[in-house]
């Protein structure tokens, strides 16, 4: 379990979003933390890939390599 303190305005926004979704504040914050951690992991993976591979491929190059464009 984790307890956090939020500024009043931020807590108000979280409460409003939870009410609009028919959810609760804990669920909204939990989803936000999960998304943040996933984003950070994606950024780290992209940085590692860039270091190891040099130039990134365009979407056209990827589609061609996968045989999606004929």
Query: Is 56 within a domain?
Result: yes
pTM: predicted TM-score of the whole model, two decimal places: 0.68
Query: Is 1 within a domain?
Result: no
> How far apart are alpha carbons 15 and 29 in whole angstroms?
10
Tell me if 28 sits within 8 A of 18, measured CB to CB.
yes
Sequential pLDDT tens for the chain (70 residues): 899 999 999 999 999 999 999 999 999 999 999 999 999 999 998 888 777 766 778 899 889 989 997 6
Query: Is 2 within a domain?
Result: no
Q: What is the pLDDT of residues 46-64, one digit of tens each?
A: 888 777 766 778 899 889 9
Query: Is 55 within a domain?
Result: yes
Number of structural domains (the chain) is 1
């Amino acid at each position: 379990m984790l307890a956090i303190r939020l500024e009043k305005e931020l807590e108000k926004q979280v409460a409003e979003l939870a009410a609009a979704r028919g959810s609760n504040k804990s669920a909204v914050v939990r989803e936000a933390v999960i998304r943040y951690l996933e984003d950070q992991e994606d950024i780290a993976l992209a940085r590692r890939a860039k270091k190891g591979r040099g130039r990134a491929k365009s979407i056209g190059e990827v589609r061609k390599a996968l045989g999606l464009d004929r």
